[in-house]
Amino acid sequence: MRVGDGEKQSSSLKIPIDTTDGAAMLGARIMRTVCEIHTLSTAEKFIHTDAEVVLSWIRSQHRNYKQFVAFRVGEILSLTEPDNWRYVPSKDNVADCLTKWCKDTDPSSNERRLRGPKFLHHPEECWPKQKKIIDTSEELRAHILLHHITVPGPLIDIGRISKWTVLLRVIAFVSRFASNCHRKKAGLPIETIKATKAQRKLILRSLPASAVPLRQHEYQQAERSLFRVAQTESYPDETRTLLSNRDVSQSNKWVSIEKPSPLYRMSPFADEFGVIRVEGRTANASFAAFDARFPIILPKDHLITKLLLNDYHCLYGHANRETVVNEVRQRFHIFNLRSSIDKVMRNCQRCKVTKCQPVNPRMAPLPEARLMPFVKSFSYVGIDYLGPVEVTVGRCKEKRYVAVFTCLVVRAVHLEVTHNLSSDSCIMAIRRCVRRRGSPVEIFSDNGTNFVGASNELAAQILNIHNDCAETFTDARTKWSFNPPWAPHMGGIWERMVRSVK
């Protein structure tokens, strides 16, 4: 390395390099380190190596080589320039003094390992040069030639049609039109239905040319074309591979599907029409249909698959999911079939109407009386009646009713028999309950006439607290609350207890 400080100082530093690209990369790093730690300005930098193959790599396009070589050559070129590299013969390479040429080893200060090769003391024009170019093709990247098989796309915009049967008929008529155009161009007769000449004339007179009834093979051709479109758009690489394997000969090589492919475990193959099918273990079941032995593979999220599943869903009367799953699997293999059918059922307008459920309103917070802590039982009471219940009095039968007292906090129940639905009978039942359970803080009930009467009596006794009956029946803190009219759901806590008692 030649360094100089203006024109006053000059010195030389030799960096001998071994024969591998790793040593060349190490030499480039040493050169950068030397330049960074010294303050002398650098005029020219030279790195000598006897590895002609390394020089060929450095002076070529490193991106064309494999990763091992490309990364190292890339780092070398980021630290140096190709003009910094020079060739040195192996005999003059001082890096080999202690390894290859042991007879030249001299421990003194005049030893060439410390002073460098002799040609460094001569002008640059006298330095050795690389005589030949080394072939480095073995480290080049492999070039892969891909053979693409083009599969024709859909004849129309499938997204404009929302029904499978309509889409099938449209594709069939478009295919017929294209076939008739080709036949007309080739001078062949236009294809019509198989009939006698007289029948054909009658049909063509009564119907326009586009309304001639479609035949079975035209429907089948339209189906196959739609299946090919769905498979090609969802599995393009697998389709090309399987179609190339279908036409493979002894001179060509069989290509397998890559492992990340979703079809890898399905053992797929392309039939004579280019439709991808599953090859299973029932291939020899001659009694079964061909579609049952070799189901057609369809992608779950494709529009064609959704139209097909919707057609099956409507064909079987919007039945449950398992009915459609059973029928679809007779011909097709669709990944996550049940979830795909569920999506179809959720988007079906008829199913939305017939199977819709009312939205349950959000439940309101519990009333304060239901959440009152640290109170005795029957401090907050709900009252309701059940009956009538027939009882025997002497030789006759009479009706009796049962007053159900429900504690709103702990759901305890107290029962009292009432003779009738009058207010006096209700007051007596409440008085017996109070004598046994203590005075309640608040009483809840619906808007029964007997309860309203009892409430009026209770209010009168609260206003006129002057007798012992009022003192035992209630006090000034007792309150009676009624539910709104026509709202029996608000008394569900005691209505449920009435059911249990019954």
Query: Per-residue pLDDT tens for 4-60?
Result: 333 333 344 445 444 456 788 888 888 888 888 887 777 788 888 887 778 777 777
The confidence score (pLDDT) of residue 213 equals 81
Taking the C-alpha atoms of residue 310 and residue 289, their distance in angstroms, rounded to an integer, is: 23
The confidence score (pLDDT) of residue 88 equals 80
The domains of the chain are located at: 2-139, 149-192+210-357, 368-501
Check residues 265 and 471 and name the one with the higher pLDDT: 265
The confidence score (pLDDT) of residue 139 equals 59
Angle between helices 423-437 and 449-463 (to 10 degrees): 60
The confidence score (pLDDT) of residue 242 equals 87
∠ CA(140), CA(145), CA(146), 5° rounding?
140
The confidence score (pLDDT) of residue 152 equals 58
For residue 392, what is the enclosing H or E element? strand 380-393
Q: What is the pLDDT of residues 301-325, one digit of tens each?
A: 899 999 999 999 999 999 889 999 9
pLDDT at 297 over 60: yes
Second CATH level (architecture) for the domain 2-139:
2-Layer Sandwich (3.30)
CB 221 within 8 A of CB 172: yes
Taking the C-alpha atoms of residue 93 and residue 98, their distance in angstroms, rounded to an integer, is: 11
The confidence score (pLDDT) of residue 105 equals 58
Check residues 123 and 205 and name the one with the higher pLDDT: 123
Cis peptide bond prior to 358, omega within 30° of 0: no
Check residues 104 and 490 and name the one with the higher pLDDT: 490
Taking the C-alpha atoms of residue 188 and residue 197, their distance in angstroms, rounded to an integer, is: 17
Check residues 209 and 216 and name the one with the higher pLDDT: 216
Check residues 207 and 437 and name the one with the higher pLDDT: 437
**Mean pLDDT of the residues in the chain:** 78
Shortest CA distance to 443 belongs to which of 405, 497, 495, 496? 405
Least confident of 187-196, 240-249, 281-290, 334-343: 187-196
Taking the C-alpha atoms of residue 280 and residue 265, their distance in angstroms, rounded to an integer, is: 11
∠ CA(466), CA(468), CA(469), 5° rounding?
100
The confidence score (pLDDT) of residue 473 equals 46
The confidence score (pLDDT) of residue 337 equals 93
Check residues 491 and 464 and name the one with the higher pLDDT: 491
Least confident of 209-213, 432-436, 473-477: 473-477
| Total residues belonging to the chain | 502
Angle between helices 21-37 and 67-79 (to 10 degrees): 20
Q: Is 71 buried (19+), middle (13-18) or exposed (0-12) by CB count in 10 A?
A: middle
pLDDT at 327 over 90: yes
The confidence score (pLDDT) of residue 453 equals 81
Cα-Cα end-to-end distance for the chain: 110
Taking the C-alpha atoms of residue 62 and residue 76, their distance in angstroms, rounded to an integer, is: 10
Mean pLDDT along residues 190-207: 53
Q: What is the pLDDT of residues 346-405, one digit of tens each?
A: 999 999 898 888 888 888 888 888 898 889 999 999 988 888 888 888 888 988 989 999
Place 237 in a pLDDT band, splitting at 50, 70 and 90: confident
Shortest CA distance to 444 belongs to which of 499, 495, 389? 495
The confidence score (pLDDT) of residue 477 equals 66
Check residues 329 and 125 and name the one with the higher pLDDT: 329
User: CA torsion angle for 35, 41, 42, 43 (degrees, to 10)?
Assistant: 180
Mean pLDDT along residues 269-285: 89
What's the pTM value of the predicted model, to 2 decimals? 0.48
The confidence score (pLDDT) of residue 463 equals 56
The confidence score (pLDDT) of residue 140 equals 61
pLDDT at 67 over 90: no
Second CATH level (architecture) for the domain 149-192+210-357:
Orthogonal Bundle (1.10)
Domains 149-192+210-357 and 368-501 share a fold: no
pLDDT at 61 over 70: no
The confidence score (pLDDT) of residue 3 equals 38
The confidence score (pLDDT) of residue 18 equals 45
Mean pLDDT along residues 448-472: 62
Q: What is the pLDDT of residues 91-140, one digit of tens each?
A: 777 777 766 655 555 656 566 666 677 777 777 777 877 666 665 565 56
The confidence score (pLDDT) of residue 104 equals 54
Second CATH level (architecture) for the domain 368-501:
2-Layer Sandwich (3.30)
pLDDT at 252 over 80: no
